[in-house]
Amino acid sequence: MRLFVTVFTFLSFGFCASAQSNEKIVQQQLEAYNSRDLEKFVSVYSDDIQLYNFPGEKILEGKDQLRERYKIRFESPNLHAEIVDRALMGEYIIDHERVSGINDGIVEATVIYHLENGMIDKMWLIIK
């Protein structure tokens, strides 16, 4: 029984540590987004990042396309994303965001990040 508890505790800690590490990466990209620091923002994404409108409409692939998309977005002086809620699920981070500075109002969004090897490699957007 003690071995089971030890293994379970080790595995649980590993899962939590991974989720917390992934959360730091997603938080870093949020802070770069809010400061409109394009290179810092792009630095946490894998070279072959894939961005989708949920569930499967591919918007872009690769850092070059990501950089071009957000270069335009970062020209907005009032751009700001606020996290309303965040869920950690291992290699997935799910954020409910309120984003201002894109259009005239507030945009509600759910963003699903998938991380692999310490980088965001897939991202899905649900925009309201």
Expressed as residue numbers, the domain containing 67 is: 2-127
The tens digit of pLDDT for each residue in 71-107 reads 999 999 999 999 999 999 999 999 999 999 987 789 9
Total tally of structural domains belonging to the chain: 1
* Stated pTM of the model: 0.84
Q: Are strands 45-53 and 57-61 parallel, antiparallel or unpaired?
A: antiparallel
For residue 7, what pLDDT band results from cuts at 50, 70 and 90?
very low
Which long-range CB contacts under 8 A does 83-89 form with residues at least 24 apart? 83/30, 86/23, 88/19, 88/20, 88/22, 88/23, 89/19
Residue 105, SS3? coil
For residue 17, what pLDDT band results from cuts at 50, 70 and 90?
low
CATH number for the domain that contains residue 116: 3.10.450.50
